[in-house]
Amino acid sequence: MKEINFTLSCGEGDYIQLIQLLKATNCVESGSVAQMAVSEGLVKRNGETELRKRAKCVAGDIIEFDGNRIVVKV
């Protein structure tokens, strides 16, 4: 599994929406692909399937999708 570290920037606030995170880390080609992946239950957040497309990912969250492990940091 490939690990990707994602650091929240000041402009984003304390969180990033799940579909935006998938796009920002180049795990998907577009927002529509990100939405489909979440809707189909292919994305895990902290070990549990996440079905909310706009779930707020905060520092400490670990997202797993398509062989990638995204660690959200501050």
Q: Which residue has the tokens 């984003």?
A: 12
Full domain range(s) for residue 49: 2-73
User: Exposure pattern of 30-67 as b/e (b: 16+ CB <10 Å)?
Assistant: eeeebbebbeeeebebeeeebeebebebeeebebbbee
pLDDT for position 68: 97
**Tens of pLDDT, residues 16-41:** 999 999 999 999 999 999 999 999 99
Cα dihedral 11, 14, 18, 23 sign: positive
Q: Which residue has the tokens 């939405």?
A: 35
The CATH number of the domain where 39 resides is what? Answer: 3.10.290.10
Q: For the chain, what is the domain count?
A: 1
pLDDT-derived band of residue 9, with 50, 70 and 90 as boundaries?
A: confident
pTM over 0.85: yes
